[in-house]
Structure 1
Amino acid sequence: MRNISDLIEHYLKQILQSGAGSIEIQRGDLAEKFSCVPSQINYVISTRFTLEKGYSVESKRGGGGYIRIQRVDLPSLEAVQRLLHQSAGSRIDENKANGLIYQLEEAGIVTAREAHLMRTALSPEALPLKQPLQDELRSNLMRVMLLALLAR
Structure 2
Amino acid sequence: LGSGSVHPGRWMRDIKHWRADQKAGHAVFTVVDRKTANLIMKNGLVVQGKRLLARKLEEDPRRCYKCQFLNPGHTADQCPSIAEVCPNCAGCGHPAGACKATAADYKCITCRKMGCPYQHAAWDRKRCTMFMEAKKELRRKHPENNYRFFLSE
Task: Give the alignment's TM-score, normalised by structure 1.
Answer: 0.28
Task: Give the alignment's TM-score, normalised by structure 2.
Answer: 0.28
Structure showing greater radius of gyration is: 2
Q: Which has the higher helix share?
A: 1
* Structure ranking higher on relative contact order (CA contacts 8 Å, 6+ apart): 1
